[in-house]
Structure 1
Amino acid sequence: MKDKQYSKVPVFENGLAQPVFPFTDGKTGENYDPSTSDIVRYCVYVESDYDMDGDGKRDLIKVLVQVPRSAVEGNYKAASLFEARPYCAGVQDDGYDHMKEVADKEYRKFDFADLDHKVAPRVPTGSISPMELALKADPSDWYYPDKGNHNSMVYENLDNFNYYLVRGFAVIVSAGFGALGSDGFNFVGSDYERDAFKFVVEWLHGDRTAYADREGTVATKADWSNGNVAMTGRSYAGTMPFAVATTGVEGLKTIVPVAGISDWYSQQNMQGAQRYWPKEMLNSYLAYYCSSRYNDETLSEKQLDDIAAFHHELSLQQLKCGFDYDADFWGSGNYRLHADRIKCSALIVQGLNDENVSTKQFEMMLKAFQQSGQTFKTILHQGPHITPTMPNKNYGILINGRFYDDIVNEWISHYLYGVENGAEAMPEVLVQTNYDQKKWETADSWDTGHSMKLESEGTGTTVIDTDWEAAGVSAENFDDVMGLKSTNMAQRYVTAPFEEAVTIQGTVCLNLKAALKDGDIENDFNPENRNDVDTLTMQLGSSKISGRMDDVEIAVLLCDVCDEEFDSIQTVDPERNIIPVETVKEGGIINGGDLPAFNEAEFSTVHKKYRVITRAFADLCNPEAGYEPETAANSIELKKGEYHDYHVYLCATRYTVEPGHSLALVIATEDPVNCMIHKTYSIEIDNASVNAVVPVTKETKDRSVKPDSSIG
């Protein structure tokens, strides 16, 4: 391979950075030679403004730098692709067991005010150049056994962005506060967490000090950097780009968030009700999971106890909120509230079958960029919680016939290197259709300006309850039952078959009048732990903790139903997280340069008479709750027989209903998959009140829905 013709500077052809730089793997351990590696790798410790752990020194944030050697040698200034991923320095894989262990444990009182110690910055005693630092680098700084997860090495995402390295970009990775090698605490959804990654951008832009050592004595500059940064990543790593964008930090030119969270409250909850997986409802679970700093052998017992006390206090603070929105607890993680600060562009990527990070999140992010006036584009695929290229699984899907990384390359080449390639001419929405995954459609705007109303022809009332056994439902078959019939747990309202195709685009709003029919209010509706949740997390919906009635839940589904089985792409596991893929072309995803290709894949389909298009959860105790997360702050005490108006906003979708198919609105009580606290109650629905406003892509006539054979 060494007879290849390489370049010392980036080369752009057809608007894309070309793979003209040599590559050396960073996972070679003892065989890694910093003196000859074509990719220069080293770690720095960026100084923050905070002293979260109260040791009298500003907390440092460990950062892994990978950059083509030519840039470090001074032949050009490299732009940076930055992944802020709290998992990347290791995880605590015993999270579920840990939550049970600490449920009844006593900790010292931790005062969140102590996180705000004002400490003067360090004064460096010397400096070191990037090349000098890299020549001293030990690969065990970035590739080592993960003590919290014995089945992996860290950074396991080390080569996720090799495509960009051979094209001249620097690749920057950090796990932020609370991770191994960094100081501070992992504080999910906080300003501290957001700012840790903001500080890294500032260092890359030349506005902040980083050190070559954990003690913070020898400073080092990113003098190979052109100061321009793009942030990307999926899930947690797709959340932090949006969080940092809302600070307006200089140097952040664009973000490419994949399945990123816009608001932590509505990631965990929805209109006053539980939304997420039962065992992971406390933010302290995720904070512990990402706190690889627990494995820092240099920490004293007191320091370890301080981390644990902080996490326990984080649990207690959330328990006071129950499932309702509280501005003090959730406000910092409601990033969309700061749309006015955004100064960068965005290429927003989301799977329409993602039930981990809901599609509501991408839509709220999109709306924030609309408010900001900044350029944004959206790519929507039919997959679950994935990136269109999955390096760790050796496959990728094509985006309208193109490689995903080529699209990102075009985007960041424009924003980081100023290449005039027409990247901004992309349509606002590029979406893979649900009826043919090879077909992609475009829209000039996510907002359609059209809606179709589904209005009930029903009369009288329907009563639904929470008796799973009588309904014959479980976590394994809930969607199957809901999609096909009414039961004691759910009432379906179904349209006549459509004569022509109709495309839904946006957020469906279900309106209804409902009342609590029956239930043991005095005893919190006799709660049961059906999903083996730890006792601490189980206190989330307890009136004894929050002081109010909470989580009298309804689950709402919009389904595509047909008398004949049809092919569709949908998740196949009870947790609704997996859509299998099939290889259609080995080596079909080209990475270029010295890098191996990935397989081109397509999503597997299932053959059923229904497909859940979108869903939502809401608490009858929160009739004021609407689309915006903060509207779920006020809850009421339900009284039997007292009706209230509800407006339930389902997760955003883009879906075409084909001729001969019908839409079914399903109003249910509990969803066993997402049910942390099983309660015994029944709800009465005014059938005539049920209607839904459905955004559609063109003018479409309204339709009636009829209650099918309910046993209510």
Structure 2
Amino acid sequence: MKDNSYSKVPVFENGLAQPVFPFTDGKTGENYDPATSDIVRYCVYVESDFDMDGDGKRDLIKTLVQVPRSAVEGNYKAASLFEARPYCAGVQEDGYDHMKEVAEKEYRKFDFNDLKKEVAPRVPTGEISAMDLALKSDPSDWYYKDKGSTDSMVYENLDNFNYYLVRGFAVITSAGLGALGSDGFNYVGSDYERDAFKAVVEWLHGDRVAYADRTGTIITKADWSNGNVAMTGRSYAGTMPFAVATTGVEGLKTIVPVAGISDWYSQQNMQGAQRYWPKEMLNSFLAYYCSSRYHDETLSEKQKDDIAAFHHELSLQQLKCGFDYDEEFWGSGNYRLHADRIKCSALIVQGLNDENVSTKQFDMMVKAFQKSGQTFKTILHQGPHITPTMPNKNYGILIDGKFYDDIVNEWISHYLYGVENGAESRPEVLVQTNYDQKKWETSDSWDTDYSMKLESAGTGTSVIDTDWKAAGISAENFDDVMGVKSTNMGQRYVTDPFEEAVTIQGTVRLNLRASLKDGDADADFHPENPNDADTLTMKLGSSKVSGRMDDVEIAVLLCDVCDEEFDSIQTVDPERNIIPVETVKEGGIINGGDLPAFNEAEFSTVHKKYRVITRAFADLCNPEAGYEPETAANSIELKKGEYHDYHVYLCATRYTIQPGHSLALVIATEDPVNCLIHKTYSIEIDNTSVNAIVPVTAETKDRTMTLK
């Protein structure tokens, strides 16, 4: 090591691993010297159980290892922080154009049964140590221009976990199957994807073989590893920790999923209706986007065509489902069904204003851990689709006055190194309040014992339709209009102002009776393509493809409304994905050691007379659909004037209504932001049937609020 004042083993003080290891950047290209780098970096190729690409050999999974040199030299055994992130080996930035190019293209028929063919493992001819392999490493193995992107580098998240490297943790990164450097196909939400990342955990635990290169002859062991692994990451990378946890794999001691998906069906759909961004509704879009293997120069044209044929068949299988749940297609990605296999703890992190990965996903993850009996805690902040520390944007928010990475440090120090620091005694819920972002509240349970009922005092019926123009609606102003007034597209039901503050915590359920009022079902309600999606994706809601009526949608919003403008944290872009931040202290987020600090930031606020608290989508063709995604499997053919009962579950939330504010329940038809297929229809609502069950944190003075 460069400086003898550094420690050769991890040091823990006040329950935290301390920044006692030196750091060498992995992006220094020609200046990177593996013989002297304080962080040892190299790639291994973990052998999976699959031969997805049918070449007669088990698929290898490229995995980047970063570990303090002292561990590789044998001074201690390092615990591992593993990010399974399919984006990190490169992306296909031309995803939208690509989907249009392949929409009408013909491919060879790909038989998914071929994926199940068993192939014998490789027979190694030798072994190489971690240090010897690292000495042969070249930074171009993990840091070079992404050929599928205009300005990105492969493993662009290389620096995201430097905080942990200088504290003695190993950092492991893999993009999984179908990525550049790996074999196989990217198969979103499948057992193949999940088990590839499980295999990496098994290698770190000492239970699986990895090779020194893609020839697959010389094995290498994680001889520096203590066998204990934590998984973390955001979004897709926050999904894989939960997926792998539901396998019960040995060695995975804890997960820290950030905005992770519990069930792929309800990420894309909700109660039989579309909920995601229109042009990304097909899983094959995301699979292609992450398939950096297309840029593997060793592949033949046939091999590239095989990848394309696989993804096209994936599209065709989803089209058969429409927007409904299908066990064969969606079951593997419904990870929550395997809660009984979970054997690790979890620190679950979610932004309450996240409209990318919905808050329902964290709620289902919580329920899965409740069923498992394993320890779990939650951190809920007011941000959108972010991690509380954003290294690539040089900022972080404080979590109840603490650095986010210090909280994770405490958590994984306990579960990976056995440090007795009380991490497991954290409150079950730590939440940033919506009315004061400097204030955080705790709760011993996410579940509440109390509820409040909102009950309509209306009579007769209300009719809502899909005429955007008449309503003055667009993707840019949908929330602004729906939040403040009723239109031909949306009916508002509003309470009187609250006399005292009331905190909602959990999942609100709207109950109503409704019927199809008008629309040409024989013509699929005259579908239009308002968001310029490809023609393949547009077939999702077609009765000619799925053989059933589909996507007669309602959008439901629960809003905080007031006669006077008030400050609130909410997204400001049409896609509902951006909340600007303001720097409150330059260099305020301390990383320690040789690492630069990030800026401490807070969320910007807006001043409006409304704020959407939570929302949901549902298809009137799925009256049986409830909270659980698998209940959306059965659809019906709507008949004009025929009423059905519906129970719509809004995305989980934690929100305090201030005195003088009211709740507005809005039932609308199409949401232009999420609208893949614009249809012409109208819906009739029985006003007397409209009510909502609202979970609250304490008994309220008036258990029923009237909706007018």
Determine if the TM-score, normalized by the shorter chain, exceeds 0.5.
yes
Equivalent positions of 1:459-608 (< 5 A) are 459-608=459-608
- Take 1:637 and 1:213, find their aligned partners in 2: how far apart are those partners? 56
- Take 1:215 and 1:696, find their aligned partners in 2: how far apart are those partners? 59
Equivalent positions of 1:282-361 (< 5 A) are 282-361=282-361
| Partner SS for 1:312 | helix
Letter in 2 for 1:702: R
The 8 Å contact of residues 569 and 604 in structure 1, kept in 2 or not, is answered as yes
The 8 Å contact of residues 457 and 704 in structure 1, kept in 2 or not, is answered as no
Q: Which residue of 2 aligns with 1:253?
A: 253
Q: Which residue of 2 aligns with 1:702?
A: 703
Offset at residue 705 of structure 1 (A)? 3.4
- Take 2:117 and 2:291, find their aligned partners in 1: how far apart are those partners? 21
Q: Which segment drifts farther, 62-71 or 1-10?
A: 1-10
The 8 Å contact of residues 248 and 342 in structure 1, kept in 2 or not, is answered as yes
Letter in 1 for 2:706: V
- Take 2:421 and 2:705, find their aligned partners in 1: how far apart are those partners? 48
Q: Which residue of 1 aligns with 2:118?
A: 118
The 8 Å contact of residues 357 and 385 in structure 1, kept in 2 or not, is answered as yes
The 8 Å contact of residues 376 and 428 in structure 2, kept in 1 or not, is answered as yes
The 8 Å contact of residues 197 and 244 in structure 2, kept in 1 or not, is answered as yes
Offset at residue 154 of structure 1 (A)? 1.1
Letter in 2 for 1:285: F
> Could you list the runs of 4 or more consecutive aligned residues of structure 1 that deviate by over 6 angstroms after TM superposition?
none
Name the Cα RMSD after superposition.
0.7
The 8 Å contact of residues 272 and 621 in structure 1, kept in 2 or not, is answered as yes
| Partner SS for 2:673 | coil
- Take 1:518 and 1:420, find their aligned partners in 2: how far apart are those partners? 64
| Partner SS for 1:548 | coil
The 8 Å contact of residues 38 and 69 in structure 1, kept in 2 or not, is answered as yes
Equivalent positions of 1:222-301 (< 5 A) are 222-301=222-301
Q: Which residue of 2 aligns with 1:26?
A: 26
- Take 2:5 and 2:620, find their aligned partners in 1: how far apart are those partners? 66
Q: Which residue of 2 aligns with 1:616?
A: 616
- How many equivalent residue pairs? 707
Equivalent positions of 1:77-88 (< 5 A) are 77-88=77-88
Deviation per CA, 1:433-484: give whole Å up to 9, x if none: 0000000000000001110000000000000000000000100000000000
Equivalent positions of 1:350-429 (< 5 A) are 350-429=350-429
Q: Which residue of 2 aligns with 1:97?
A: 97
| Partner SS for 1:430 | strand
The 8 Å contact of residues 565 and 608 in structure 1, kept in 2 or not, is answered as yes
**Structure 1 residue 677 corresponds to structure 2 residue 673:** no
Letter in 2 for 1:492: R
- Take 1:372 and 1:22, find their aligned partners in 2: how far apart are those partners? 40
| Partner SS for 2:208 | coil
Deviation per CA, 1:531-555: give whole Å up to 9, x if none: 0000000000000000000000000
Equivalent positions of 1:620-659 (< 5 A) are 620-659=620-659
Letter in 1 for 2:96: Y
Equivalent positions of 1:18-97 (< 5 A) are 18-97=18-97
Offset at residue 117 of structure 1 (A)? 1.4
The 8 Å contact of residues 189 and 264 in structure 1, kept in 2 or not, is answered as yes
Equivalent positions of 1:151-170 (< 5 A) are 151-170=151-170
Residue 71 to residue 2, structure 1, CA distance change in 2 (3 Å): closer
- Take 2:53 and 2:2, find their aligned partners in 1: how far apart are those partners? 49
- Take 1:702 and 1:524, find their aligned partners in 2: how far apart are those partners? 43
Q: Which residue of 1 aligns with 2:442?
A: 442
| Partner SS for 1:198 | helix
- Take 1:3 and 1:259, find their aligned partners in 2: how far apart are those partners? 39
Letter in 2 for 1:448: T
| Partner SS for 2:688 | helix
**Structure 1 residue 107 corresponds to structure 2 residue 107:** yes
Letter in 1 for 2:345: S
Q: Which residue of 2 aligns with 1:710?
A: none
- Take 2:352 and 2:692, find their aligned partners in 1: how far apart are those partners? 20
Offset at residue 706 of structure 1 (A)? 3.4
Letter in 1 for 2:475: A
Letter in 2 for 1:383: G
Q: Which residue of 2 aligns with 1:137?
A: 137
Deviation per CA, 1:656-694: give whole Å up to 9, x if none: 000000000000000000000000000000000000000
Deviation per CA, 1:544-574: give whole Å up to 9, x if none: 0000000000000000000000000000000
Offset at residue 125 of structure 1 (A)? 0.5
- Take 1:595 and 1:355, find their aligned partners in 2: how far apart are those partners? 32
Letter in 2 for 1:680: T
- Take 2:521 and 2:331, find their aligned partners in 1: how far apart are those partners? 30
The 8 Å contact of residues 513 and 686 in structure 2, kept in 1 or not, is answered as yes
Letter in 2 for 1:465: D
Deviation per CA, 1:301-336: give whole Å up to 9, x if none: 000000000000000000000000000000000000
- Take 1:29 and 1:193, find their aligned partners in 2: how far apart are those partners? 31
- Take 1:64 and 1:83, find their aligned partners in 2: how far apart are those partners? 10
**Structure 1 residue 197 corresponds to structure 2 residue 197:** yes
Deviation per CA, 1:77-110: give whole Å up to 9, x if none: 0000000000000000000000000000000000
- Take 2:2 and 2:332, find their aligned partners in 1: how far apart are those partners? 51
Offset at residue 3 of structure 1 (A)? 5.5
Q: Which residue of 2 aligns with 1:171?
A: 171
Letter in 2 for 1:265: Y
- Take 2:81 and 2:447, find their aligned partners in 1: how far apart are those partners? 31
Offset at residue 112 of structure 1 (A)? 0.4
**Structure 1 residue 664 corresponds to structure 2 residue 682:** no
- Take 2:624 and 2:368, find their aligned partners in 1: how far apart are those partners? 22
- Take 1:507 and 1:596, find their aligned partners in 2: how far apart are those partners? 41
| Partner SS for 2:244 | helix
Q: Unaligned regions of 5+ residues in structure 2, if any?
A: none
The 8 Å contact of residues 81 and 232 in structure 1, kept in 2 or not, is answered as yes
- Take 2:358 and 2:516, find their aligned partners in 1: how far apart are those partners? 28
| Partner SS for 1:563 | strand
Deviation per CA, 1:332-355: give whole Å up to 9, x if none: 000000000000000000000000
% identical aligned pairs: 90
